[in-house]
Structure 1
Amino acid sequence: MSVETTTAAELEARLIDIVRANAGLMHVLRVMRDLDLPDWRLFSGAVYQSVWNERTGRAPGYGVKDYDIGYFDPDTSWDAEDEAIKRVAAAFAPELRDIVEVRNQARVHLWHPQKFGGSYAALRNTDEALTRFVAPCFAVGVRLEENDEITVAAPFGLDDVFNLTIRPTPDRPLANDWERIVEKAKARWSELNIVQA
């Protein structure tokens, strides 16, 4: 598939095909759908790395270290988030329990500045979190809906994901650990194209 001549709709359909072909991703999506956390989405590495693996001929689960789940609950107490984390952990077998990471996106502004520095405005929903990711290719999320449809959120499109390109997100400060992020990705997928700020 030539990405240069592919429409946004065709890339989204291709992403959905890749997700459906990945048994691990589909298992996580089915469990999360059954748990029905508010405004949940599976995003980041497990999604874009699946595309990279398909594009480079690697096994579907290659390089996937965890499954990041975002959800949005207006209750920003730690107790409420901890309850959701425990509920999700209980739904997975031990081999997945420790690598399915769940975070309430309504709470990110409470801990982000201390952990990563800088200011972080409160989010209004889970998909808005994707607009703050450090690279457009990382900013992709999927959800398995009740009717078995897979919906996609990709605020910067999917071109960079399918073109194996990592570039800084525009209108956002460069991540403090940008070089480490790029080096780790390039060590696993040597085919990646790095576009510096």
Structure 2
Amino acid sequence: MMEILRAAKRLNLPDWWICAGFVRAKIWDTLHGYEEATNTPDVDVIYFDQTKTDESVEKELETKLRSLLPDVPWSVKNEARMHVVNDIPAYASSVDAISKFPETTTALGVKLDDKDCVVLTAPCGIEDVWNMEVRPTTFFKETRERMAIYERRIVQKKWQSIWPKVKVYHT
């Protein structure tokens, strides 16, 4: 994980984080006593740069990361443009975007500071991920459409088949 964090840090992106499954899976693997890391479909690197919002920039960054660590399934997104893709109001920052992820247990990010210390952001708190409880974020509870997305993700992700101690709440 440190190697992945160091690779992302080398891009020198503004307001960057590695988030979602990368963080959650590590926590749940540890709480389940798994000795080997669970494979995640991608490593989500997000950043916030209002000056370069073309999707092609993200693809170039993914190419750079693949040149550093070719076996990692990188996914890079500039949160300064993702509100358009998601058809919601603009985000103020990467942490604001993370706070609006579908599940509280996904609304987590890590990065390295200037001294290579790991920094965690958890705008929805860490209680749910620590207690292995999946709930929608406040933002997703606001509309039926978003709650439908949350419910579809619960079915698609099949987290309970990977981590049997996980409890899922339907609100």
The TM-score bracket by the shorter chain reads: 0.7 to 0.9
- Paired position in structure 2 for 1:15: none
- Paired position in structure 2 for 1:73: 49
TM-score (structure 2 length as normaliser): 0.87
| 2:152 is the counterpart of 1:190 | no
2:93 and 2:10 mapped to 1: Cα distance? 20
Q: Tell me the CA shift for residue 86 of structure 1.
A: 2.6
Checking the alignment, whether the CA contact within 8 Å between 2:59 and 2:76 is kept in structure 1 is no
- Select the structure that is richer in helix: 1
Tell me the alpha carbon deviations over residues 69-101 of structure 1, each in whole angstroms, 9 at most, x when there is no partner. 0011112123333332332232222x21xx111
1:190 and 1:180 mapped to 2: Cα distance? 19
- 1:163 corresponds, among 128, 131, 139, to 131
Q: Give the AA of the match of 1:156.
A: C
Matches within 5 A, 1:48-59: 48-59=24-35
- Paired position in structure 2 for 1:128: 96
Unaligned runs of 5+ in 2: none
- 1:39 corresponds, among 5, 11, 15, to 15
Q: Flag the 1:171–1:64 CA change in 2: closer, same or farther, 3 A.
A: closer
- Paired position in structure 2 for 1:30: 6
Structure 1 stretches of at least 4 aligned residues deviating more than 4 Å after TM superposition: none
User: Kindly, what percent of the aligned residue pairs are identical?
Assistant: 28
Q: Tell me the CA shift for residue 176 of structure 1.
A: 2.5
Checking the alignment, whether the CA contact within 8 Å between 1:50 and 1:60 is kept in structure 2 is no
Tell me the alpha carbon deviations over residues 107-132 of structure 1, each in whole angstroms, 9 at most, x when there is no partner. 1022123xxxxxx1111211111111
Unaligned runs of 5+ in 1: 1-24, 114-119
2:11 and 2:95 mapped to 1: Cα distance? 19
Count the aligned residue pairs.
164
TM-score (structure 1 length as normaliser): 0.76
- What secondary structure is seen at the aligned counterpart in 2 of 1:39? coil
Q: Flag the 1:37–1:193 CA change in 2: closer, same or farther, 3 A.
A: same
2:65 and 2:40 mapped to 1: Cα distance? 19
1:72 and 1:168 mapped to 2: Cα distance? 23
Checking the alignment, whether the CA contact within 8 Å between 1:33 and 1:146 is kept in structure 2 is no
Question: What RMSD in Å do the two structures reach over aligned CA positions?
Answer: 1.7
